[in-house]
Structure 1
Amino acid sequence: MQKLITLILLFFSFLNYAQIRGTVTDTKGIPLPSVSVLVENTYNGTSSNEQGQYELNIKTAGKYTLIFQYLGYKTQKTIIEIKQFPFVKNIQLSEENLTLQEVVINTKENPANAIIRNAIKNKKQNGEKTSRYKADFYSRGIFKVKDLPKKI
């Protein structure tokens, strides 16, 4: 009886598990690590690992727009229609060449100092305008552990 219950629970856990996965590469086929992969108009997102592989957990089939962003590469939006899981979507990002405008360096005052002085001068008025503040914050990081001991 216990085996039957375990089997049924295992079956239902597979029904809850759904995902979009794939690999992000450049035009030469080299995997791109830490590419931001987002589902448009949601807070659902992930980043690719060192091999360029990503997984997004999506529970329902339907149409989604995926956004792939990586510094130095063109942002790519892709519309996908999921009919069954798992859904595999591999992406190639192309490089984006940006040319910066001329940078002029001078010995005059830093323009940020005038902004800071103005903010300090108007501190009271600005404080009255904003009685509260709300922020939505997300942070990510990758850690590598070298020479991990066998026992921790």
Structure 2
Amino acid sequence: MDESLLVRFDTRRDCEAQWRAVLARAVRQLDMFDPDFSVFPLGSSEVDAQLRAFLHGGGSLRLVLHDPGHIEREAPRFLRLLRDYSHLAECRQTPRALRQLTDSFCIADGLHVLRRFHSDWMRGEAAFDAPGAVDVPAHRFAGIWEESRQTLLPSVTGL
């Protein structure tokens, strides 16, 4: 049996490296919550390729955020990915009552998790092969997901 691994970080570079490590381990389900996803390079070509491979392999992606503005302005590749894989990827926006939530996390397959304790800082931890570390964030994500409404819908404009 593999042992779990816990990695603490406090810089943007280390946070991104651990986030990419969580993404690389995702096979079936990827759940992410962040106020605006401005810290995560969702619009980069490398992340786009990684997420497309994940979704092409049958994975499912769920994102929840407070404000979609950053993604709308800075991540056109990610918007195309949402359009291309609308059957496997969904993005939701929190209601006003949940906008005080300031943590950030990414959960892969109920086994791996990256958590930033507060979205204003890079301090956090990543846990790999650690289902126990995923329990609380997964429970929080389920509640946030249920309360949130779909956003960043694929649409045809100008018609």
Tell me if both proteins adopt one fold, taking TM over 0.5 as the criterion: no
Q: TM-score, normalised by structure 1?
A: 0.23
Q: Whose helix fraction is larger, Structure 1's or Structure 2's?
A: 2
Q: TM-score, normalised by structure 2?
A: 0.22
Which has the bigger relative contact order, CA under 8 A and spacing at least 6?
2
Larger C-alpha radius of gyration, 1 or 2?
1
